[in-house]
Amino acid sequence: MAKKSLLKKAAKVERSTGADPFDATELARNAVIAELHSPSEIGKFVSVEFDDENRVATYLFEAKLKGYKGWRWCVTVAKVDADSAPTICDVVLLPGPDALTAPEWIPYRDRIQPGDVGVGDIVPSSLNDARLVAGAQALPGDEDLDTAMAIELGFGRARVMSIEGRDQAAKRWYEGERGPKAPIAQFAPQPCHSCGFFIQIAGSLRSTFGVCANVISPEDARVVSVDHGCGAHSEATITAPGVKLET
């Protein structure tokens, strides 16, 4: 019997199936014991189910293995015909309806979080990454730039960021610690776009983001939104006592 079919049977709500035409409960139990060489690791009988023709039966017993809470010993028994003796087909350990199981496997690249990549770490790229497109697509029609600027921003590289990739980055940056809603920006005297240390980036994000170049700013060398800000604004000059700071 296919493993998928056995899993479906093991996951069903436990129920009594009435009379057992095979009368093979002990045969099934002994098959588990023979597999384990330890009677203490098989618990009480749970249920038995038959196929439509009463040729194949599936016996379930509680598993008493450490670390396998709620699992079942699943024994498949078959008969060639009504007069033949039942024989053991398979003995497997499968999760029951309340079994403790491992979480669903997640590909490695989907588990990586910001900060996980350290010195010497290599993260294999995916050829179908939606954030990237072939470099040939970084033409003026996409970035609204002339050819020279398109080459400078990536035309000639194997892959460059797609529109979807740029949208994801822009949303992440704008809503993050260097966007307008950051606490430090709320108390800034003026926004970044009016600061002399603000360097506008190139490309389609140039109207929204730039790089801070103020060595005393906590945002130095980082991408900030044009409406971000901090206390190290170039025009936040020192004033005499009682004189209001111009903003």
The radius of gyration computed from the CA coordinates of the chain, to the nearest angstrom, equals 33
Two structure tokens written together for 36: 């384990």
- State the pLDDT at residue 122: 80
Question: pLDDT-derived band of residue 104, with 50, 70 and 90 as boundaries?
Answer: confident
125 occurs within a structural domain = no
Assign 3-state DSSP to the chain and report helix, strand, coil percentages, each to 5: 25, 20, 55
157 occurs within a structural domain = no
Pairwise pLDDT comparison (52 vs 199), residue with the higher score:
199
- State the pLDDT at residue 55: 86
84 has pLDDT over 80: yes
User: Which domain does 201 fall in, by range?
Assistant: 177-239
The residue from 59, 74, 95 where one domain ends is: 95
56 occurs within a structural domain = yes
- Average pLDDT estimate for 141-148: 55
d(CA 75, CA 92): 7
- Whichever domain contains 81, its CATH number is 3.10.450
- State the pLDDT at residue 207: 94
Kindly report, residue by residue over 41-63, the tens digit of the pLDDT: 999 999 998 887 778 999 999 99
Kindly report, residue by residue over 11-25, the tens digit of the pLDDT: 443 444 456 778 899
100 occurs within a structural domain = no
72 occurs within a structural domain = yes
The residue from 95, 127, 162 where one domain ends is: 95
190 occurs within a structural domain = yes
121 occurs within a structural domain = no
Pairwise pLDDT comparison (116 vs 213), residue with the higher score:
213
Kindly report, residue by residue over 156-197, the tens digit of the pLDDT: 678 888 899 999 999 999 999 999 999 999 999 999 999 999
**To the nearest whole number, what is the mean pLDDT of the chain?**
82
Question: pLDDT-derived band of residue 148, with 50, 70 and 90 as boundaries?
Answer: low
191 occurs within a structural domain = yes
Total domains, the chain: 2
Starting at the earlier edge strand, list the strands of the sheet with 56-63: 42-50, 56-63, 71-78, 87-95
- State the pLDDT at residue 26: 92
- State the pLDDT at residue 221: 96
Question: pLDDT-derived band of residue 238, with 50, 70 and 90 as boundaries?
Answer: low
- Average pLDDT estimate for 217-224: 96
The residue from 95, 113, 136 where one domain ends is: 95
Question: pLDDT-derived band of residue 201, with 50, 70 and 90 as boundaries?
Answer: very high
Question: The tokens 């690249």 sit on which residue?
Answer: 109
